[in-house]
Amino acid sequence: MWDAVSFVAHQYEISPPRQYLKSLNWKGDRNAIRKLLPTYLGADDTELNAWIMEHMILGLVKRVFEPGSKFDEMMILVGGQGIAKSIFARYLAIKDDWFCIIENIQGKDAVMNLMGKTVVEIEEFVALRNAKSANEAKSFLSKLSDRIRIPYEKFSTDVPRTCILIGTLNERTFLNDHTRERRYLPVECHKENRKKAIYIDKDFQREQTEKEYLNSIREDFNQALAYGYKLYKEKKHSWSIPKELLADLYQEQEKFKYLNPDVEDIRYFLEEYKPKTQEPNLTCFKELSMYGYQIKSKSFSEIMDNYFPEWKPVRSSKTKRISPSGVSIPVKLYYEREEKL
């Protein structure tokens, strides 16, 4: 009997978020999405931030209309207390019932919290910091669905994701991966630069009543969502970050990475020691070891590939001997400076 009831019920599923988005009337403002971050969080009005905001809204719309669709990027709002980053995420979710905050990415409770939501906040990045590894965190972001046995159901089932993820942080250092990771989209927020508070504030309220002011905030987000729905239907969004913005993204990410002493050691070696060696345009992991640096081989390669683009890797299937410091060293991987000294 229960199976029959469940089957019939699923034939007549109703999605309130889908109905809400369809009901919105876009009034023609093509900057409706772009101005959200500068207006309410004081973020710089850059092409990168504009694309990030558009990408998140289009991701929300896509997940509402195509549950389980691919979307593995996360906007990370970075700024001090009192700027209301969480309230911003809550407004983006449309309704409180469609929003939640998670502190753990493991277990049944984490999956249950995602169900039926449009926006899920990872406050202070804590859920991803508590992950067992960077790969586990990336896997969580990339999932299209979550497997769980829903209460009163007999068997486990795959529940397609309907939400996007937004991180919020007060501190400035949270990225510790060597690789340039396109999943993480940081946005720096400045309370002093915002044009409008996202909560009742008499300094911004002017002659509006509290109700009128709150309605104006909701309308700003509605117009952004309405424009996002229009772009989604017309398929006018680049789901991959434009190539011309990649350098800007990587530069922003560098602001929020932990200071890696290995990076600074290698930088010092390349700038201070290498020009004085016999072969200033060649180096390898073993050369650093000769100078007493205690860096793992894998870390050396990751750092060279990601932090020093002027040094190009040269790989060989057979062992080759190089003498970067006057001593013959057998290697299969070494680095050559692109612009010779």
Output the pLDDT for position 151. Answer: 55
Domain boundary among 255, 285, 319: 255
* pLDDT tens profile 26-37: 999 999 999 999
316: part of which helix (H) or strand (E)?
A: strand 311-322
Q: Are residues 212 and 237 in the same domain?
A: yes
The answer to whether 303 touches 178, Cβ cutoff 8 Å, is: yes
Query: How confident is residue 51, by pLDDT bands cut at 50, 70 and 90?
Result: very high
Query: Residues 234, 282: one domain?
Result: no
Same domain, 292 and 187: no
> 208 and 273 share a domain?
no
Instruction: Say if 93 falls within a structural domain.
Output: yes
Mean pLDDT (the chain) is 85
Q: How confident is the model at residue 9 (pLDDT cuts 50, 70, 90)?
A: very low
Question: What is the residue range of 300's domain?
Answer: 261-337
d(CA 208, CA 84): 21
- Residue 178 confidence (pLDDT) above 90: no
94 pLDDT higher than 60: yes
Q: How far apart are CA 211 and CA 213, in angstroms?
A: 5
Choosing from 255, 282, 300, the residue where a domain stops is 255
Flag whether 296 is in a domain: yes
Q: Are residues 306 and 173 in the same domain?
A: no
Model confidence over 231-272: pLDDT tens digits? Answer: 999 999 989 999 999 989 988 988 887 777 888 889 888 998
Residue 168 identity: T
Query: DSSP of 18-87, one letter per residue?
Result: HHHHHH----S-TTTTTTHHHHHH-----HHHHHHHHHHHHHHHHHHHSTT-----EEEEE--TTS-HHH
- Do 174 and 28 lie in one domain? The reply is yes
Rounded CA gap, 117 and 293, in Å?
49
Q: 14-23, 123-132, 302-311: which has the minimum mean pLDDT?
A: 123-132
pTM over 0.85: no
Asked if residue 32 belongs to a domain, the reply is yes
Verify that 185 and 314 share a domain, yes or no: no
Question: Contact 291/273 with Cβ under 8 angstroms?
Answer: yes
- Three-class SS of residue 240? coil
**And the tokens for 170?**
């007060």
- What is the pLDDT confidence band of residue 171, given thresholds at 50, 70 and 90? confident
Count of the separate structural domains present in the chain = 2
Is residue 172 domain-shared with residue 74, that is, in the same domain?
yes
The residue assigned the tokens 């406050």 is 123
CA-CA distance, 130 to 123, in Å (whole number)? 12
pLDDT exceeds cutoff 80 at 181: no
d(CA 110, CA 163): 13
